[in-house]
Amino acid sequence: MEGMPVSMGGLRTLPWYVAGSQVLGVASVVITGVWMGHYRGGYAWDGSTQEFNVHPLCMVLGLVFLYGDAVLVYRVFRNESKRSVKILHALLHMMALIISIVGLVAVFDFHSAAKIPHMYSLHSWCGMLTFVLFFIQWLLGLGFFLFPWASAQLRSWYLPLHVFFGLLLLVMAVGSCLLGITEKLLFNIMETYSRFTGEGVLANILGLLLVSFGVVVGYVVTRDDFRRPPNPEEEALSVHFKTLSEGEIPSSP
Amino acid sequence: MEGMPVSMGGLRTLPWYVAGSQVLGVASVVITGVWMGHYRGGYAWDGSTQEFNVHPLCMVLGLVFLYGDAVLVYRVFRNESKRSVKILHALLHMMALIISIVGLVAVFDFHSAAKIPHMYSLHSWCGMLTFVLFFIQWLLGLGFFLFPWASAQLRSWYLPLHVFFGLLLLVMAVGSCLLGITEKLLFNIMETYSRFTGEGVLANILGLLLVSFGVVVGYVVTRDDFRRPPNPEEEALSVHFKTLSEGEIPSSP
């Protein structure tokens, strides 16, 4: 996506977008917690539906909120060293990974205890695809960018793919959450959903908040004038060397 | 998204991505048609569930396939005049708009005849939001880019937003379709869905095909070296003047 010249919009709006994303992200986590805690009977770890309730909370917290914040760090910490920001990016993604694994174990446990077949729904297909691709992307990210294993050529080849798949996986995570919301509502309140009951409206609002979080994060990371400024000294030392095409600015994830 | 230097990947792969997108798009439309035609009793226009069946077919054909192709024209017709490509872009979007209006009328008719409340589900909220934003974006696109109403400044301000929202709306359209697939399956085959019945698996595959179509279109339009080459003569005559920031290439939607 091409951006406006800095003079027309510029960096002064960035903090507002970042603050907005955090309000939307925290609201999504809180509403998921309230939905499962208040309307669906709370949390447990015993194979019951209370164990299932851990699943939505972990996925929204891990694969949406923390994942989105991991994506944002390159825009938020514009003037820190690239290496520190990379480590923070990897750590946030590791937290997202661990929390989403807990969320996955919760739903598989619940299905096994309740003798419900695994992996039959579109939600499960999309969600598992998102998780597996996220895990692969995280491993590749470590290997290519954090450790000095890959050649500069390989890194510069992978970087635009890492950026594209990074944003794609956030979109797929949000989409999988929306499918999960729809499934959960139709399994539990199919009879009353069409009467605009509190639970149904709350869950729909949660869906819109998740979409809004994804939109704001996507806008911040694709807008040209929010991009991290290239630091010539760092660029010379690190992998982010200039590409061969004339006048091109080195890529920053 | 930053791209590779042209020498490393380049334009020779573009036709393969475009062909792939068309295979995925046509397959999505055909599978939707088969699902509604074979498993759900075919089509009619009488307020029955056969009228409902028109809805998924129109939305997949209009808001996903034709919409996606309208987005792709700037990459496919790289050497035609900008004005011709703009007109094709607007016409494809107009077809998408008309077909999706037919699809919306079908589902509202069906709900009214069956005394089902309108607009209570997350699918309906996301789908309607997508349609309304698409309609606004289409009107703004006409006003800003096809007719000489907007100033050059306004056009250059709106262009990156038009590009961002254009891709966002494709993502939202695909997401809304997936929510619709999940709703339809749980309304009709909740008892047998978990036994991996033919209809359930077919509809899940449709969901993955729609996601894949969106991913390929998104990749093609965000990859730097697939971008339409700037034509200095056209640029001088048209709205796509150079932005003020140093060395920046004028934006092409």
Q: What is the mean pLDDT of residues A139-148?
A: 94
Please give the CATH topology (third level) of the domain spanning A11-228. Answer: Four Helix Bundle (Hemerythrin (Met), subunit A) (1.20.120)
Interface of B with A in 79-138 (CB under 8 A): 116-117, 120-123, 125-126, 129
The DSSP-derived string for B133-168 is HHHHHHHHHIIIIISTTS-HHHHHHHHHHHHHHHHH
**Gap from A180 CA to chain B (nearest CA, Å):** 9
Instruction: Name the 3-class secondary structure at A133.
Output: helix
Instruction: Name the 3-class secondary structure at B31.
Output: helix
Distance CA A153, CA A155 (A): 5
Q: What is the mean pLDDT of each run of 10 residues along chain B (253 residues)?
A: 48 96 98 98 97 98 98 95 96 98 98 98 98 98 93 95 98 98 98 98 98 98 91 54 38 46
Per-residue pLDDT tens digits for B162-208:
999 999 999 999 999 999 999 999 999 999 999 999 999 999 999 99
Q: Which of B56, B52, B50, B51 is nearest to B33 (CA)?
A: B56
Tokens encoding B23: 């295979």
Instruction: Name the 3-class secondary structure at A235.
Output: helix
Confidence (pLDDT) at B10: 80
Interface of A with B in 185-244 (CB under 8 A): 185-187, 190, 193-196, 200, 203-204, 207-208, 211, 215, 218-219, 222-225, 243-244
Mutate to test the interface with A, among B4, B74, B222 (most CBs of A within 10 A): B4
Q: Does B4 touch chain A (CB under 8 A)?
A: yes
Tokens encoding B136: 């606004």
Please answer whether residues B152 and B241 qualify as being in contact, where contact means their C-beta atoms are separated by less than 8 angstroms.
Answer: yes
Q: What is the largest CA-CA distance in chain B?
A: 63
Angle at alpha carbon of residue B29, lines to B26 and B34, rounded to 5°: 120
Confidence (pLDDT) at A252: 45
- Average pLDDT over chain A reads 90
Tokens encoding A145: 């960018």
Please answer whether residues B70 and B89 qualify as being in contact, where contact means their C-beta atoms are separated by less than 8 angstroms.
Answer: yes
Please answer whether residues B180 and B202 qualify as being in contact, where contact means their C-beta atoms are separated by less than 8 angstroms.
Answer: no
AA identity, residue B160: P
* Residue A242 pLDDT level (bands cut at 50, 70, 90): very low
Per-residue pLDDT tens digits for A62-107:
999 999 999 999 999 998 999 999 999 999 999 999 999 999 999 9
Give contacts of B183 with chain A, Cβ < 8 Å. 182, 186
CATH of domain B11-230: 1.20.120.1770
Burial of A227 (0-12, 13-18, 19+ CB in 10 A): middle
Q: Is the dihedral of CA A156, A158, A161, A162 positive or negative?
A: negative
